Amino acid sequence: MVVAGPLAATAAGQGSQSPVGGALLTTEPTVVADGATPPAVQASAFVVADLDTGSVLAAKAPHAKLRPASTLKTLTALVLLPRLNKTDQVIGTGQDAGIIGSKVGVYPGLRYSVDLLFQGMFLASGNDAVHALAAHDQGGVPATVQRMNQKAAEIGALDTHVTDPTGLDADGQYSSAYDLALFAQSGLRREDFAKYASTKYTNFPLAKTGTYQVANQNKLLFNYAGALGVKTGYTTLARNTFVGAARRDGHTLVVTLMNAPHGITEDASHLLDWTFKNYSALSPVGALVKPAAAGPKTASEPNAANKAAAGTQLPRRSRTVLAPGQAVQALALRIPVWFYAAPPILLLGLFLRRPRALRIHARRLRGRRH
Angle at 205 between CA 202 and CA 210, to 5 degrees: 110
* pLDDT at residue number 291: 83
- Stretch 97-125: mean pLDDT: 97
Pick the closest to residue 256 from 98, 123, 59, 112 (CA basis).
Answer: 59
* pLDDT at residue number 83: 98
Distances in whole angstroms, Cα of residue 14 to Cα of each of 17, 49, 280, 287, 367:
8, 19, 28, 12, 107
pLDDT at 325 > cutoff 90:
no
* pLDDT at residue number 105: 97
336/70: higher pLDDT: 70
Domains of the chain: 31-306 (3.40.710.10), 324-369 (no CATH)
pLDDT at 230 > cutoff 90:
yes
Question: Residues 129-185: pLDDT tens digits?
Answer: 999 999 999 999 999 999 999 999 999 999 999 999 999 999 999 999 999 999 999
pLDDT at 13 > cutoff 90:
no
Residue 296: CB partners within 8 Å, gap ≥ 6? none
pLDDT at 316 > cutoff 70:
no
pLDDT at 34 > cutoff 90:
yes
**Distance from C-alpha of 243 to C-alpha of 165, rounded to nearest angstrom:** 17
Pick the closest to residue 226 from 261, 274, 177, 269 (CA basis).
Answer: 269
Pick the closest to residue 192 from 84, 57, 265 (CA basis).
Answer: 84
Residue 129 has φ and ψ, to the nearest 5°, of -65, -40
CB 202 within 8 A of CB 211: no
Question: Residues 234-281: pLDDT tens digits?
Answer: 999 999 999 999 999 999 999 999 999 999 999 999 999 999 999 999
**Distance from C-alpha of 366 to C-alpha of 190, rounded to nearest angstrom:** 87
**Distance from C-alpha of 292 to C-alpha of 107, rounded to nearest angstrom:** 40
Element at 74 (helix H, strand E): helix 73-80
298/92: higher pLDDT: 92
Report the percentage of the chain scoring pLDDT > 90: 73
> Which residues are catalytic, by number?
70, 73, 125
CA torsion 122→151→153→216, rounded to 10°?
A: -10
pLDDT at 363 > cutoff 70:
no
DSSP for 121-175 reads HHHS--HHHHHHHHHHSTTHHHHHHHHHHHHHHHTT-TT-B-S-TT----TT-BB
**Distance from C-alpha of 173 to C-alpha of 66, rounded to nearest angstrom:** 8
pLDDT at 216 > cutoff 80:
yes
pLDDT at 70 > cutoff 80:
yes
Q: Is the dihedral of CA 219, 222, 227, 229 positive or negative?
A: positive
CB 286 within 8 A of CB 292: no
* pLDDT at residue number 18: 80
24 secondary structure, DSSP code: T
Question: Residues 136-151: pLDDT tens digits?
Answer: 999 999 999 999 999 9
